[in-house]
Amino acid sequence: MKKKLPLAIIFIVGILGIVQYFIPSKPSQVFFNYANDWLRVIGTFAIILGLGSLLEHHWHKIKRKRRNWQYSIVLFISFAVMALAGFIWGKNEGTPFMNMFYYIQIPLGATMFSLLSFYMASAAYRSFRAKSYEATLLLVAAFIVMLGMVPLGESLFVWIPNWLAGSAQAVRIDISDLAHWILAYPNMSAQRGIMLGVGIGMIATSLKIILGIERAYMGGSK
């Protein structure tokens, strides 16, 4: 019963969700709003469960003196300070909670994301080596896009020969316009192909969950 009941609930709710999307009507809209309300309730409990799991993980890390356990103490202190500030002074503008959010958390998040640029540069260096025709094409396109996105690229241009442009005379093209063309057409077509693949994968995974083939969310695959 512990396994059959969750599977039955997932199957019924999944089928109703599919019907609601493809057959819009007033009852299906009522079901959609009702399901969204339940999702908010479940999401609230999921946040509490996630916070409890996070604190428990770092508590065991401090208790067993694992590697970098000192940072877990910083997490506990930060968690307590932010929570107390929110409960005592609220979350309005100008409160200690919002000041810490704007002047501590956001700059720290921006710093973490800025570090990704070094990893991206390292990955680009390894990927953009002109070892083949495709790699050379990728290297040239990436160079044009990066050059066209900076102010210097707005003052640069290239001349396309008349035989290549299909006109009576050579055509001048700005680097910035060429960069935007690459992003709008070749890049967009590749992105749409990737998104189609992701969508098909999501449909396949959803069907596996609805039909009970995928049961990892129940704590195991058997």
Q: What is the pTM of this model?
A: 0.60
Q: What whole-number distance in Å separates Cα of residue 156 and Cα of residue 222?
A: 61
CA 89 – CA 83 distance, rounded (Å): 10
Q: Residue 140: how many CB atoms within 10 A of its CB?
A: 13
Written as six digits, the tokens of 103 are 């002047």
Would the pLDDT of 65 be above 80? yes
Q: Which residues are CB-contacts of 169 (< 8 A; sequence separation ≥ 6)?
A: 162
pLDDT at 107: 92
Specify the pLDDT at position 196. 95
The arithmetic mean of pLDDT across residues 90-107, rounded, is 91
Q: How large is the average pLDDT for residues 67-79?
A: 92
Give the pLDDT band of residue 2 (cuts 50, 70, 90): confident
Identify which has the larger pLDDT, 136 or 158: 136
**Other CB atoms within 10 A of residue 145 CB:** 19
User: For the chain, first and last CA: distance in Å?
Assistant: 15
